[in-house]
Every structure is written in C-alpha cells, then in structure tokens.
Amino acid sequence: MFTSNPFAELSASIPAAVMQTYVIVMIILVVAGTLIEVVHKGSAKYFFENWRKSKSKGSKQVGGGELVSIAIKTGVVDVLASGEFCNARRRIAHLLTMYGFVIYVVTTAIMIFSYPTPATPTPAILPQLWWLGGLMVCLGGYWFWFFIRVDVLAEGNSPFRVVRADLFILSLLVSVTLGLIWAFLQARGNSAASVLFGLYILATTVLFGSVLWSKFAHMFFKPAAAFEKRVSNANGSRSNLPGPADKPEQFGIARRQPRHY
C-alpha cells in the first residue's frame, strides 16, 4: 500500500489526461485567486508603500550585499524555519503542516504527470513520501486545531467552533485526510473507495478554489513582509516607532497610581 501509486491504480477508471487537467486547473485557481487578492486587497500596494516609507525614514542606506544577506536570512529563518513563531509548539505544528503539505503536493504532481499509469512503474519512494507528507499534515494540522489555537487554548471556546479564517486549515485537513483514507480503501479493494474519492476531489477543489476567501495566499505574502521588516530594522527606520507602552513618560504622560473605590 505504501509503495504503490494510488493515482496509477485510479487510471483504470479515470484517464490520466483528466487527472492532469484537474491539477492544472487547481494551479490556475491558486494563481488567479492570489492575483485577485493582491489587486482587491491592495497587498502589493501596501507592501511597496511600506518599502518606500522605510527607505525615506531610514537613517542609513542598505547596500546590495546587505540586501542579499537579509534575503538569505529571511529565507532561512522566517520561511524555512518559521522564525516568526515564538511558541515552540506552534512552530513545530506549523513546520509539520508546511513541509508535509509541500511533500504531499509535489509527490502528487510527480506521480500524476510522470507515472500516471501502471505501464510506467512508480519508484517506491514517491508513494512513501506522499504518505509521509499527508501524515505530517494531519499530525501538525490536528495538533494545531485541537490543542494550540488561541480561541481554544486561551479563550476556552469549543474546538468545533468554525469561523471564516479557518477555511484554509479545515479544507486542507479534510482534503488530505480523505485522500489518505481513499488511498487506503482503494489498496484494500473496498467498494467505498469511489465515494471517498469523490469527497476527496470536492474537498481539494474547495481548498484550491477558495484562495480568495481563505488564508492560502498568505504563504506568498509572508516572506515579502518578513523581508521588509528586516530591511526596516537594518536601515534604522523602525527605530522611529513609538517606545513601549510601559514607559508613558516618553510621551509626556504621567503615570498615576490606580484608585480603589
């Protein structure tokens, strides 16, 4: 089961060309949704305005070599290691989900486009990585959903409370979970596999088709925001920000003792 390509087995009932077309359509939906969000919400405009203000307010110029160094540090610390998360549990859950999703998506694409039928034997490592990626998504995602979310952990809300911001993580978890269950049932020859596959496709379509309304596109904006923040720190423009709130005397406000009635 862990060494067989589930999509190659599926080609007996669904042509490989149909599966490949579906993947291409999902990619188009992600690109289109991201571009529409950039235009509709002004994300790119906001970023470049911040960049311009940072350069004008900075006390020193950042050279090309330093920009390259900052870009590398952003990629390694903020992107690859998710350095923006101070909480260790949250960071681990995020890294499990992120790398699991990347492995899962990449191996899915390789198996569908390079080894679409049993006529072209799939290297065993690809299905194994596909399962590993899917299980990593489930481990990190469900851990976050039930035990780490702020509204569950700190505010005491039900873990089954759903808001619009949860669309991405929920659709991701449902899609990957259904995909793994479908592959398991298909390998066992279970007749319910076709039903699970239909639900898997539905959840996957929601995942990639809801980019405009979910947080999916944030993964493309975060590196740019992290880079801009590091450049602002380097050129000194962030030193112009107000001081911490625990020193109100910096703003001419005298601290008063609390009154007790």
What local confidence, expressed as pLDDT, does residue 147 receive? Answer: 83
Tell me the pTM. Answer: 0.76
Question: DSSP character for 258?
Answer: P
Dist CA 244 CA 58 (whole Å): 20
Instruction: Give the angle 243-244-249 at the CA atoms, nearest 5°.
Output: 75
Token pair 């911001």 is found at 165
What is the dihedral sign for C-alpha 204, 206, 211, 214? negative
Give the pLDDT band of residue 118 (cuts 50, 70, 90): very high
Residue 151 pLDDT > 60: no
Name residue 158's amino acid.
S
Dist CA 157 CA 10 (whole Å): 41
Residue 17 pLDDT > 60: yes
Give the pLDDT band of residue 125 (cuts 50, 70, 90): very high
Measured CA distances, 27 to 199, 212, 257 (Å): 19, 14, 59
Average pLDDT, stretch 129-155?
85
Give the pLDDT band of residue 78 (cuts 50, 70, 90): low
Average pLDDT, stretch 121-135?
97
Dist CA 44 CA 40 (whole Å): 10
pLDDT greater at residue 49 or residue 125: 125
Give the pLDDT band of residue 156 (cuts 50, 70, 90): low
Considering the chain, what is the average pLDDT of its residues? 80
Beta carbons within 8 Å of 21's beta carbon, 6+ residues apart: none
How is residue 196 written in tokens? 């699970």
Nearest to 176 by CA among 188, 184, 164: 184
How large a percentage of the chain has pLDDT more than 70?
Answer: 64
Dist CA 114 CA 134 (whole Å): 20
What local confidence, expressed as pLDDT, does residue 41 receive? Answer: 65
Residue 254 pLDDT > 70: no
Residue 235 pLDDT > 90: no
Dist CA 228 CA 50 (whole Å): 8
Average pLDDT, stretch 238-259?
46
Residue 155 pLDDT > 70: no
- Kindly list the structural domains of the chain, giving each domain's residue range(s) and its CATH number in brackets, ordered by start: 6-57+84-234 (1.20.950)
Residue 201 pLDDT > 60: yes
What local confidence, expressed as pLDDT, does residue 154 receive? Answer: 55
Average pLDDT, stretch 127-148?
94
Name residue 169's amino acid.
I
How is residue 82 written in tokens? 């998710």
What local confidence, expressed as pLDDT, does residue 111 receive? Answer: 97
What local confidence, expressed as pLDDT, does residue 216 receive? Answer: 64
